[in-house]
Amino acid sequence: MTDAYVAIEGGRVVEARSRAPGTTRGELVFTTAYTGYEESLTDPSYEEQILTFSYPLIGNYGVREERFESDRVHPRGVVARELTEDVAEWLESEGVPAVDHLDTREIVTGIRDEGAMKCGIAAGPDATEADALAELEQCEHMSDHTEIGAQVSVGEPELFNEDGDGETVALIDCGAKGSIIDSLVERDAVVHVLPYDATEDDVAAVDPDLLFISNGPGDPENFEQTKDLVDSYVGETPMAGICLGQQVVASALGGSTEKMEFGHRGVNQPVRDLRTDRVVMTTQNHGYTVAEPGDKLEVTQINVNDDTPEGLENDDLEIITRQYHPEANPGPNDSKGFFDDVLAMAED
């Protein structure tokens, strides 16, 4: 049954089956993860994107809220070979259009060969090809979403583990996954989650042992306020960053970032540590990367597949950042020691 249409940049329209009705638009990307669909769908880093699952069956172990990374689904739309009823009903309840019964292999190879593309979706009994094309026409590039931080960040400060005996962390929320907070709390840190546009005074009021820049969606160059914080506190307070956080730190300290062809999204990305020569498997979700780290940061880890920077450090300035997600939900758990390292740095 054809009652949905996926319009892809370049003019191609793919017929599909509607699983959650509606019209939507966003950057078309794919993840190679074969598990963790709940974590992916609630990851704020997918804001303003259409998420395509390369694994054919999505939903084969149901939907459980305790696995969520945030309080809502963030991709603007979902594309899969087959969605179970559980996932389809969840997406419909969230108002996120979803389609299946199309050749996701062709879509994934198209993104791999041509890069992430604009996309428009129309799904439901009254959907037309023209509706999907109209959504595509209105779709913007990711770099044009200049206020994307406000869409995913907390509006007011939040406090976790107030009575903890560990280090005090100021977590700048650019779209933080919940498991990052959990990973810090598990180590008894007191975590103050601050908005992405927090001021220097906001951070000073927390008096943190560690300034932590979170993951998040979009172009790191659109997080000017966060870069200003990094510039203000570098050399004064130990600093850590994950994913977008690494890019923001590098950009603030004289480095540069760039958009990738199709990004890294999945749970099987190999990373090599240049100091130990050890390779670990990591969870990743990013479409931008550090192009040049500048003269203040050393590249300590790289992606095995394309040599992009996966870890940056400066021992003197007490900075450790990672491009991948060490909190590792849904796995693998190879890199969770990152949180021990940054908290030990803060303690010292």
Active site residues: 243, 325, 327
Q: Does 218 show up as a binding residue in the annotation?
A: yes
Q: Does 70 show up as a binding residue in the annotation?
A: no
Q: Does 247 show up as a binding residue in the annotation?
A: yes
Q: Does 184 show up as a binding residue in the annotation?
A: no
From CA 85, how far away is CA 100, in angstroms rounded?
A: 12
Structure-derived torsion over alpha carbons of residues 307, 313, 319, 323, reported in degrees to the nearest 10: 10
Q: Residue 319: how many CA atoms within 13 Å on its side-chain side? A: 29
Q: Does 285 show up as a binding residue in the annotation?
A: yes
Strands (E), the chain: 4-8, 12-20, 22-31, 49-53, 57-58, 77-79, 82-83, 98-100, 117-123, 158-160, 168-173, 190-195, 210-213, 239-242, 256-273, 279-292, 298-303, 309-314, 319-322
Q: Does 268 show up as a binding residue in the annotation?
A: no
- Where helices occur in 81-186 by DSSP H, the ranges are 85-94, 104-114, 129-138, 148-152, 178-185
Q: Does 251 show up as a binding residue in the annotation?
A: no
N- to C-terminal Cα distance for the chain? 62
Q: Does 287 show up as a binding residue in the annotation?
A: yes
From CA 22, how far away is CA 126, in angstroms rounded?
A: 9
**Residue length of the chain:** 348
Q: List Cβ neighbours of 39 (8 Å cut-off, separation of 6 or more).
A: 67, 68, 69, 177, 179, 329, 330
Q: Which residues are annotated as a binding site for L-glutamine?
A: 45, 216, 218, 244, 247, 285, 287-288
Q: Which residues are annotated as a binding site?
A: 45, 216, 218, 244, 247, 285, 287-288
